[in-house]
Structure formats: C-alpha cells, structure tokens
Amino acid sequence: MAVKKRGSYWWYDFRCNIHKIRHRASLREARTKAEAEQAEANKRLECFGAAYGQPQKQTPKLSEFIDKTYMTWAKTNKKSWPDDELICKAVKAHFKGKRLAEISPMDVERFKKVRHETPTRHDEPRSAATVNRELTVLSRVLALAVDAGHIGENPCRRVRRFKEDNARVRFLTDDEEARLMKKIGEREPLRSVVVFALNTGLRRGEIFSLRWSEVDWSRNFIHVTNTKTGRSRIVPLNERTRAVLQQRQQKSQSEFVFVSRRTGTRLRNLRNGFGKACEDAKVTNFHFHDLRHTFASRLADAGVDAFTIAELMGHSTLEMTKRYTCDRRAKGAGGRRAHSEAQDQKGGHNLVTKAKTASRVTCRFARNAGDSADLQSPPGTGSQVFETGALIHYATSPRKERLEVRG
C-alpha cells in the first residue's frame, strides 16, 4: 500500500496504470495507518470501476474551468484579476481543447518554454519574471481544480520557476530630469503626473486612482488608500506637489485628481507619451516606475533612514528598502549632506529639505487616518528635526526614529 504519514496527516500516492493518471491526496480524517490503507483501497477500487464498470466522468476542459470557476474566484479575491484575465487568454490558447486530467508536468514545461521563447506584442523578449507570473496563475487554476476534486495533483508543483533578477534600480539624474521635463513641456496631464511621481514616490496605479477626498489641504498630506499591499499610508506634500494639485483642482469636475483629457474620466494610462518623451530626451532604459526609485534614492541621499523611506514608499518589509540605502552608505554623511545642500539651493525635490536642532518638539504620529499619539523628543538630546511642511522626522538614536505628521 502506498500510504505515508507526512506531518500529522496520512497521504496516499499511486499511479493508475489503466488511465496513466497519478492519484495523490491527504487523508485528513484517517487517524491510523489501517484507516489510510482502507481509503487508498477504496480509491483504487474507484479507478477499477471507472475502467471496467460504469464509464468514468470526464473532467472539464481547462478553458471552461477558467471561465466558469477561476475567473469568478479571482474577481472575488484578487485586485489584479484584470491581469489574470489577460494571462488566462494565453493559457487557454496554449492548452486549447485539453481537459484538466490530461495536463501533465511535461505539458506545463512545454508551456513554460514556449512562452519564454515567444516575444511580447512589442516584439521584445519575454522576461523570466513574466513567465513566472503566468505559471503562478496556471498553478492557481489547477490548485482550484484539485480542491474541486477534478484532479488528484497539481502538475505545476513539479515544474521549477525561472530564476529572477529583480534588483533593477534605475535613477533619474538631475541632468536627465531637466532634459525630460523640457521635452514634456506643458503637456497635461503627463507633466503633472511625472512631477507628482517624482515628489511622492507613488505607484502609477496609486496616482491614477487618487481622489480629491484623499487630499488633506489643512495638514498638507495625501491619504493613499488604493495601494498594492492593501494597507493605506500617508504621504506629505511639498511645494511642487501642492502646486500641481492646486492647478488641477481649479479645472477639475471629477472626483479623481488625474483625469483623461480625451475621455473626461479617470486616467488609466499615459499611452506612448512618457516613452516618447524619454526617447526625445535621450533618457535610455528608463520606465515610469523608475520615477518611484528616484524619489526613494533622493531620500536616501539626503540621509533619511530606511524606516522612514519604507513608510513613505509603502514597503511591507525593509528588504525592499535596502536597495536604496545600502549602496549609498558608502558615500558617507558628507556626500549626503552636500547633495542635500545642492538640492536645497536649487529648490530640489527632496522631501527632507532642511534640518535644525531642537531641544524639544511635540509631534503627532500617524500611520493610518485617525491613528495618532503625541510624542516628544527628550530635551538636551540634540535631536535632528527634518521639516518639510507637514512632515516632521526626528531621531534621538537609530532605533528611536519616527515619522510624524503635524497638524
């Protein structure tokens, strides 16, 4: 009998030679080996009956299961379900006509190979990360099929993903920024979106979904709610971002801050405007998301600690913030101070624009809206206070740094 105990559960694992299908599942109700062997025997008998007795019920086709089951589940449980819908089109095209029980690990390997060798619609090589995202969606589809009892094992579990190198960090230099903004000119909403991204570090989707109700004019910050991680955060405004918002509010007739001039509804993309501007400005290998990297890089150059950068960027772990702080540590405090002073002289974009010494300062800490607590820096500690309108950041030691929003 092919039963084994793994952890606290018994499992059966055997291959039916009649249909060439592997059957594998946990027996959560089995408490002894004898009960597990009895369950396995019943499963083998079921396979025998399907072959020589009553006809075996056919499993659904993969395409039908995706449309009727997976997409229903994805729309309920995933914010990124529109991306899954696009990926599923490629999955259904590759496995056209195949039933769930007919998909083997080798079929998944072929899918992985074909997708990696197929260029994108822009005739560019498909990255390993993109193929891995497609495999993740396919694996989730087949996992739901296992839960529904259509198949005994998820074949994707035996297929290795490509190794990824996601350490890309491309920053916009001051000279590149000047050239890029010159080429953008007064084109709206492209200019406003680029300035806003450079000075807040918001993701593209967070910018496009920003509402006027999330702008707090009195306390000079925005409350970002539609985030990738699902956790809202507060991002302070500097003079440039506040000016952008004031300019757009004068002409706005929508609940959204950034609206398409063509449709009058929420902005959903910049089409080819940003890419064309980068090409004209000779800013190579630069993506819109790199504006976010530039924001974080300038904070690190100005001496802002990793905890504050992670708070402003909405990072779930400090591992994601290390890329901005580790390689800049070698520059030393002198290099960061010189960079900050240079930015200050020309009205730069750093959130941290000036520092002063304070013997005592009272602030209010706010991670989420309505979540606040009064804090004070001890007198006589010589704590550094970085001030940018609504943002107060003070530190008495590396382990006692706080991000404060002052009303």
Which DSSP string corresponds to 247-299?
Answer: HHHHH--SSBSSB-TTTSSB----TTHHHHHHHHTT--S--TTHHHHHHHHHH
Q: Where in the chain is the domain with CATH 1.10.443.10?
A: 189-345
Q: pLDDT tens digit string along 277-333?
A: 888 889 888 888 889 888 888 888 888 888 888 888 888 777 777 777 665 554 544
Residue 327 is predicted with a pLDDT of 54
Residue 132 is predicted with a pLDDT of 93
What is the amino acid identity at position 4? K
H or E element at residue 400: none
Residue 49 is predicted with a pLDDT of 62
Cα radius of gyration (the chain): 28
Residue 3 is predicted with a pLDDT of 80
26: Cβ contacts below 8 Å, ≥ 6 apart: 6, 9, 10, 11
Which of the residue ranges 137-151, 283-297, 379-393 has the most confident prediction, judged by mean pLDDT? 137-151
Q: pLDDT tens digit string along 195-235?
A: 999 999 898 888 888 899 999 998 988 998 877 777 888 89
Section 238-246 average pLDDT? 90
Q: Which of 19-28, 121-130, 169-178, 299-308 has the lowest mean pLDDT?
A: 19-28
Residue 66 is predicted with a pLDDT of 94
H or E element at residue 107: helix 105-117
Q: Band the pLDDT of 68: cuts 50, 70, 90.
A: very high
Pairing of strands 383-388, 362-366: unpaired
Q: Which of 28-32, 110-114, 174-178, 326-330 has the lowest mean pLDDT?
A: 326-330
Number of other CB atoms surrounding residue 368 within 10 Å: 12
Q: In the chain, how many H helices and how many E strands? A: 15, 12
Q: Band the pLDDT of 377: cuts 50, 70, 90.
A: very low
The CATH code of the domain at 62-158 is 1.10.150
Residues 242 and 236: their CA atoms lie apart, in Å, by 10
Q: Where in the chain is the domain with CATH 1.10.150?
A: 62-158
Q: Would you give the distance in Å from CA 290 to the centre of its chain?
A: 14
Q: Would you give the distance in Å from CA 149 to the centre of its chain?
A: 32
Q: Which of 119-123, 143-147, 218-222, 403-407 has the lowest mean pLDDT?
A: 403-407
H or E element at residue 93: helix 81-94
Q: Band the pLDDT of 382: cuts 50, 70, 90.
A: very low
CB 156 within 8 A of CB 86: no
Fold of 189-345: hpI Integrase; Chain A (1.10.443)
Residue 30 is predicted with a pLDDT of 75
Residue 355 is predicted with a pLDDT of 35
Section 363-370 average pLDDT? 36
Residue 73, pLDDT above cutoff 80: yes
